[in-house]
Chain A
Amino acid sequence: MPTDLRINGKTHQVDLPDDVPLLWVLRDEVGLTGTKFGCGVAACGACTVHIDGEAVRSCQVALSDVWGEVTTIEGLGSPDAMAAIQQAWIEHQVAQCGYCQSGQIMQAASLLAENPAPSDAEIDEAMQGNLCRCGTYPRIRAAIHSAAQKMQEA
């Protein structure tokens, strides 16, 4: 039974078993590879996307449970039209290997949507589920503060 999914403003018809996690629908079926597979058990945050604006681990959301509009890193902004938070990532030269950064950015974007000026403690709280083996955390923190400031000025 094909399922209709709204992803980044477009409708996609997907024909996969109900229990396939959203992550693998995005990556292997829809062809949106910006969302990454890291652990499959919600322990690293690399697969973070938004469903109706809320940050979720897409490796834990079954296809049949997707309850709203999905936004992935590709939907947040593109190289030619980046979101403010993506620009902040460039400004602070955050990424090293970069594999976790889609998830970091999606998590940070949802934090800023809820809390336009997070403190360091609030950043710790919101971001601790997102693992980065390169240890880019100091620059992630700086980029979040900087994006917060830019978004408030805008």
Chain B
Amino acid sequence: MASFKKIARRSFLIGSAAIVGGVAFGAYYVSRPAPNPLKPAEGEAAFNPFVMISNEKITLIAPRAEMGQGVHTTWAALIAEELDVTLDQVEVIHGPAATAYYNSALLGEVIPSKGYDKSRFVHSLGEALGHAGKLMDMQVTGGSSSMKDGYERMRAAGASARETLKLAAANRLGVASSQLSTRDGKVIAPGSIEISYTDLAAEAAGLEPVEAQLRHRSEWKLLGKAQPRVDMPGKATGTAEFGIDVRLPGMKFAALKANPHLGGTMNGFDASEALRMPGIEQVVDLGNAFAVVANNTWLAIQAAEAVAADWGPAPIPDTQAEIQDAIRAAFDAEPNSTLRDDGDVSALPQGAQEVSAEYEVPFLAHATMEPLNATALYDGSKLQLWSGNQGPLLTRNHCADALGIDPEQVEVNTPLMGGGFGRRGEMDFSIYAARLARQMPGTPVQLTWSREEDMTHDFYRPGAMARMRGAVKDGSAVLLDGQIASQALTPQLMNRWFGMTPAGPDTTMVDGAFNQPYGIPNYRIRGHAADLQIPIGAWRSVGASFNGFFMESFVDEMAHAAGADPLEFRLALTRQEWAPAAKVLEAVKDMSGWTGTTPDGVGRGVAMTYSFGTPVAQVIEVAEEDGLIRLRKAWIAADLGVALDPQNLEAQMFGGMAYGLSAAMFGEITFAEGAAEQGNFPDYDAIRMHTMPEVEVRILEEQSHISGAGEPGTPPAAPALANALFDLTGRRARRLPLMHDFDLLI
């Protein structure tokens, strides 16, 4: 139980944070424990919201979106480590939407500090603000935060359940708990007596949970070692159930069509032709979209094309050039943020050489492999929803609002996700399904988006530009003054999620630029918010996805201007500022056998980005083969602080890099009359088997805090490749995607 003093301190800290973020929370709500959402049956024990044991099985609740990052496995391993069970003895489920499953780490990240140099004050401020997550229904998977969030809480949940089971055994046997031990789902008593947890569940159910100390790392049996993923057999046999695989008795299949002119209204539609097509049952008005209901998804998609709709215009400039002009115009306005302003960037240090460059990156779609979809059943008062989503409580609240019913009347089921990358943190696909279900009471309906509908109705990674100015002297950087222009994500996202638009600086716009662990004496980063209404969202690594490219391309340009080796140049700038950043650079130097020179026809580039608490360095090697440039090899080093599952972390690192490379090479969404011009993979391609480089990954544990894994592999990919292309061709890539300016193997 938190002491009054601690509560008072939190109250103060949150009070302080309220000034920063424009949100106020009371200490009472923050410290009040959330109710356990698990409803154990007779003879079943729910020790806490994360561990449930019946007389038949042990169930661990991993209430985070499994979208490929392996969170269900590592989350369960945290609990299992202290509970003393193996992962093959348990069932891991996502569980219900509940306040108890708030993400304590995510909100802590919004504090605009550099992060890597977290002072004690800022760190505890982050923790305290994190508790506010409970209030804002932040059962959210995002921000590479799951392990930061669960690292202590889940081990504590496991330890508490273990000690409670021991107490039940102690009571039964009439011995002291201290005489008991636990192993592989059993309590072991003197005299070789073994009692399985399932056998103790009914007795343990009546006990108050027991608190317990966490074990030291040296005692870990599961954590720190590769665990076979719990979702792997299902995914290798086609039996894993994704949202799109939900099948209910009597279910109808529907296709969505929304106004392609994003943000425009629907003024009406004529469905008469569609209704004559085979298998079509009805066409339903969903407000700014319609759904065609059929007995087969494909028939519904075909018929949706036959509906003649009157679409209102988008509140977006008509041409791509005007959109780019609007982003560029933001440079002339007052900055939205100046989150770093070290030294004095106004004057050029004496004897220094000035360097400047401008960069530009396009809007991007998420393009998850599983197109958006949700399944809903409305019985006249209650809504059941099956939706692969990254925020079950937000989904519940928004669907309740859309139907005008209480949130308690909405049940959200969260199946596996065929990719999320931030897209499934939105509620639109769930809300459309809820609205549709309301108009067909008693009939379950699955609403699927065609690939074209998915790609043309995204919340896009915003297009962005940078104006970088720097100075080098004696082989090192002495000045870096960067301006970033793009739409501000935070106000749009907060408005969609919570219906409020916080004022103040948008950290995401400059993330990956202002907070880089470079000891440059004169270092300023300003963000400039562009006035555009294009729907934008969180895209794997968010602002770092473009700032990584801007910063690390420009640092490379400065290294060349200084006559320094690009890797040594970065090493010198990081060593004094933050050692873990230097360590990942040293690691890729060692792994790649970096010498600073490459043979003819071969190019190498390096980049290092700190994001979501994790420094990641990458070296990419390209080679010219038959007149085309092929990515031959990549080396990645990342420092996670604590590597809970090295094999899964390796997958996250090369996967994050692949996502970044796909965008860097091919990704581009452009708009005409407010409608996205790319609709499917032939015009929005990604890296494939023959274009993916061979990869080698090294995971370090030098830094003091456990840090994020899902996103930090993405930001260094584009600049490492662009820098390698410069090494190979002598041409500097200042815009993406690279396929426009380089003869890449595709």
Contacts and interface: CB of A to CB of B under 8 A. Distances in A.
Nearest to A132: B369
B419 A35 contact: no
A134 interface: yes
Which of A24, A97, A128 has the most B CB atoms < 10 Å from its CB?
Answer: A97
A150 interface: no
Given A90-B228, A98-B418, A128 B68 contact: no
B236 A105 contact: yes
A97 B686 contact: no
B296 A29 contact: yes
Interface string B187-223: 0000000000000000000000000000000000000
Interface in A5-56: 16-17, 20-21, 23-24, 27-29, 31-41, 43-44, 46
Contacts of B231: 95, 98
A51 to B, nearest CB: 17
Interface residues of B, number: 67
B654 interface: yes
A68 interface: no
A107 B253 CA distance: 28
Given A97-B418, A101-B236, A133-B368, A41 B299 contact: no
Interface string A127-149: 11111111111111100000000
Interface in B636-665: 647-648, 651, 654-659, 661-662
Contacts of B237: 34, 73-74, 76-79, 82, 86
A106 B98 CA distance: 39
Interface residues of A, number: 63
A70 interface: no
A128 B419 contact: no
Interface secondary structure of A, over-half rule: loop
Nearest to A28: B296
A89 B237 CA distance: 10
Contacts of A3: none
B417 interface: yes
Given A79-B239, A133-B686, A41 B681 contact: yes
Contact of B451 (A38, A98, A134, A137): A38
Listed residue (B416, B451, B648, B656) with the most chain A CB atoms within 10 angstroms of its CB: B451
B494 interface: no
Contact of B299 (A20, A38, A40, A100): A20
B687 A28 contact: no
B354 interface: no
Interface of A: 16-17, 20-21, 23-24, 27-29, 31-41, 43-44, 46, 72-74, 76-79, 82, 86, 89-90, 93-102, 105, 123-125, 127-141
17 contacts: A16-B299, A38-B451, A39-B451, A43-B681, A94-B236, A96-B69, A97-B416, A98-B232, A99-B242, A99-B418, A100-B369, A101-B235, A125-B690, A127-B690, A128-B688, A131-B688, A136-B655
Interface of B: 67-70, 226, 228-229, 231-242, 244-245, 247, 253, 278-279, 295-299, 301, 367-371, 416-421, 448, 450-451, 647-648, 651, 654-659, 661-662, 680-682, 686-690, 692, 694-695
